[in-house]
Amino acid sequence: MQDRAKLENLEKISRLIRYHCLAMTTRAGSGHPTSSLSATELMAGLLFGGAFRYDPDHPDSPNNDRLIFSKGHASPLFYALWAVAGAVSEEELTTYRKFDSPLEGHPTVAFRYTEAATGSLGQGLSIGVGTALNAKYLDKLPYRTYVLLGDSEMAEGSQWESIQIAAHYKLDNLVGVIDVNRLGQRGETMLGSDLDAYAARVGAFGWKTIVMDGHSYPQILDAFEKALGAEEPVMIIARTIKGKGISFLEDKNGWHGKPLEKDEFEKAVKELGEIDHSVRGKISLPVQLQPEAIEPRKAAESHFPADKPLATRKAYGKALTRIYPQFPGIVSLDGEVSNSTGAETFKARYPDRFFEMFIAEQNMVGAAIGLARSGKIPFVSTFAAFFSRACDQIRMSRYSDANIKFVGSHAGVSIGQDGPSQMGLEDIAMFRAIFNSVVLYPCDAVSTDALVEKAAAHRGLVYIRTTRMDTPILYAPKERFEIGGSKVLRKSEADVATVAAAGVTLHEALRACDELKKEGIAIRVMDLYSVKPLDEAALLDAAKATGLVITVEDHFPEGGIGEAVRSALWSSGVPVYSLAVRKEPKSGLPRELLDFEEISRKAIVAKVKELLWKRKRQALDVPGSWR
């Protein structure tokens, strides 16, 4: 039987939380008060009922339970909870949604108690999978992860990816809470108030389900207590009322994302009854344990025989395995293609640091966010084309300040016979568009090895593009590579054009250079292995020296290397021409496809000659126009 005084205190807390939610959104003139009111008892019961363990004075403690609001639009509730915990002042609540406030419209890591940025629905449970994996298999700490879910977002496929993987890994330290308030943004949700339907679906994946009244503190406290003793992931499915506590809001459509006017707020506050602004909720403190410390050790030297071509995807797996001792935070996640991406090499050497995430890329990226926020360095690998499925998760990872490295193999038409469904041709554009991202595109095993190490050392989002086909070794073993750098592989005072390329097409450019040299035509060849940030200074020097730049890439022109170079050189006055994949790709041999798309040696030679001929004609027609 629940302690009466405890229940009365929780009721007081609920009234204060509801007041804060209404006051914040009314003052801001925007927000989601009704979505916050429906989950008030659920979250107050969790934080202040004894199950949740957290030290508010040390939000970075590895022992703290994790609380993730996948239902990020309920941010007023999230902030109000921490105010009632005494961790946020009422004055700070008045800054909600203001320009310089950490209390943003949807939670971001600018607020010190946010585990990860949420608000794009369907992502919080995946992030929770990552933090739960970290606790159970890596740090081996007893903390638990709790995720508040909205019923509308249960229509997202990413939720079910998360649910099945959590059962697969037996994450008994993961608790989801579905706030079934029936109403979405524009009406009833897919399942409405059918709690049994939710329970049947989630239970079918192997989760323990608890169905209850989301406004009954005795049931709520009992549910969280049962979750503590579960041997599988737990989903609490709670029937709630949107706008709970305010008669003119309760279960009413049309109030989603709509704050109260001042007179409505005053009316609502009267309905709440006596508000005790001094009431506080106490959060239980966690046990004080430390994860096992793994001291960094010097990595072994890399070795790639100069006479043995090797695919950069295979060099990636070797590199990750080599550098792990130096970066013991590394964790490898792969989408059931590790024998193609090269990640199987790491898996064989460090199986306890590898997680098979199967063909479920959205959850894989979401879990990587949770792992990154737990202090790990996730290297996430799959075919470059398949990252497009998780574009939103990748986009949101940046707002969590997540230190993730993405590795996309099988890029471009050079993969050959598998055809367009497997060809990553939009990936550079996608990753270049992410704020503060780094995009690296090595051409051989040596540069791959060096850039994987640079990626691990870099704090932030990095994308490494690798290719399927074997490529010759171009660089000496000790060659240095830097993020934001480039390499000039062919250069002379007689150069009449600069050909800038990366990856597979760099080898084509070198072959073109050798062929043109036989005809007395000298060109400069640049390896733009750092696509973002570009080595703008070196590019500008080459452009001014040769007066002409040609980019060559195994990628669509939109958002690719050509556009990056053109943007960097736009004020130089030097013309930039782009060879890229401009025809609809098809199955075929790699050589056939490179020729077909006019990004091969043959096409480069032809383009250089064409442009030189045009320049010569221009010089003849307009005196003084020759460089």
How would residue 294 be classed by pLDDT, with cut points 50, 70 and 90? very high
CB 264, CB 17: distance < 8 Å: no
Q: Are 416 and 469 in contact (CB under 8 A)?
A: yes
> For 567-594, how does the pLDDT look when each residue is reduced to its tens digit (9 = 90+)?
999 999 999 999 999 999 999 999 999 9
421/516 same-domain check = no
pLDDT tens readout for residues 593-603: 999 999 999 99
User: What distance in Å separates the CA atoms of residue 378 and residue 406, rounded to the nearest whole number?
Assistant: 8
Hey, what are 515's tokens? 């062929």
Same domain? For 124 and 218 the reply is yes
pLDDT digit string (tens) for 246-263? 999 999 999 999 999 999
Q: Count how many domains the chain has.
A: 3
Same domain? For 88 and 170 the reply is: yes
Q: Is residue 180 part of a domain?
A: yes
pLDDT (tens digit, 9 = 90+) per residue, 357-396?
999 999 999 999 999 999 999 999 999 999 999 999 999 9
Nearest to residue 350, comparing CAs of 338, 368, 332? 332
94-134: pLDDT as tens digits: 999 999 999 999 999 999 999 999 999 999 999 999 999 99
Enumerate residues 6+ apart whose C-beta is below 8 A from 466: 311, 312, 313, 315, 316, 341, 342, 407, 408, 409, 411, 442, 448
H or E element in which residue 25 lies: helix 4-28
pLDDT at 453: 98
User: How does residue 620 score in pLDDT terms, banded at 50, 70 and 90?
Assistant: confident
- 542 in the same domain as 396: no
Which pLDDT score, from 0 to 100, does residue 563 have? 98
- With 70 as the cut, is the pLDDT of residue 471 above it? yes
What length is written for the chain?
A: 627
Tell me the catalytic residues: 361
Do 592 and 453 belong to one domain? no
Token representation of residue 172: 């008994």
On whether both 451 and 492 belong to a single domain, the answer is no
Last residue of a domain, one of 212, 243, 272: 272
Report the DSSP beta bridge partners of residue 488: 526
| Residue 356 sits in the same domain as residue 445 | yes
427-456 pLDDT tens trace: 999 999 999 999 999 999 999 999 999 999
User: Could you tell me the sign of the dihedral formed by the alpha carbons of 563, 565, 567, 569, in that order?
Assistant: negative
Q: For residue 626, is pLDDT > 80?
A: no
Instruction: Please give the pLDDT value at position 623.
Output: 55
Q: How many helices (H) and strands (E) does the chain have?
A: 22, 17
Does the residue 344 lie in any domain? yes
Question: How does pLDDT run across 526-556, given as a tens digit for each residue?
Answer: 999 999 999 999 999 999 999 999 999 999 9
Query: Residue 534 is part of a domain; what is its CATH number?
Result: 3.40.50.920
Question: Which of 245, 272, 299 is where one domain is finished?
Answer: 272
pLDDT at 227: 98
Is the pLDDT at 236 greater than 70? The verdict is yes
Q: Is residue 149 part of a domain?
A: yes
Q: What's the DSSP call for residue 160?
A: H
Residue 472 lies in a domain: no
CA distances from 365 to 181, 245, 362, 381 (A): 29, 38, 5, 10
DSSP label of 239: E
Give pLDDT, residue 622: 61
What pLDDT was estimated at residue 320? 98
Residue 480 forms part of a structural domain: no
Q: Quick one: 180 and 59 in the same domain? A: yes
Phi, psi of 294 (to 5 degrees): -110, 110
* β strands within 221-287, DSSP E: 234-239
**Contacting residues for 32 by C-beta, under 8 A, at least 6 apart:** 25, 73, 74, 75, 76, 256, 257
Same-domain pairing of 610 and 553: yes
Dig out the tokens for 183 from the structure. 């109403």
Q: Is residue 473 assigned to a domain?
A: no
Q: Tokens at residue 423, please?
A: 């060809």
Quick one: pLDDT at residue 551?
A: 99
Mean pLDDT across 501-523 = 98
Q: How confident is the model at residue 49 (pLDDT cuts 50, 70, 90)?
A: very high
CA 624 distance to own-chain centroid? 53
Residues 94 and 130 in one domain: yes
* Residue linked to tokens 């250069």: 491
For 9, other C-beta atoms within 10 Å of its C-beta total 19
In a domain, 223, yes or no: yes
- % of the chain exceeding 70 in pLDDT: 99
Nearest Cα neighbor of 493 from 332, 614, 627 is 627
- Confidence (pLDDT) at 356: 98
> Residue 112's domain spans which residues?
4-272
Q: Please tell me the distance from the alpha carbon of residue 450 to that of residue 401, in angstroms, as a whole number.
A: 24
Please check whether residue 92 lies inside any domain of the structure: yes
Cβ burial of 623 (10 Å; 0-12, 13-18, 19+) is exposed
Taking residues 35-53, report their average pLDDT: 98
In terms of domains, do 344 and 239 share one? no
Structure-block tokens of residue 341: 């991406």
The CATH number of whichever domain residue 438 belongs to comes to 3.40.50.970
Residues 217 and 343 in one domain: no
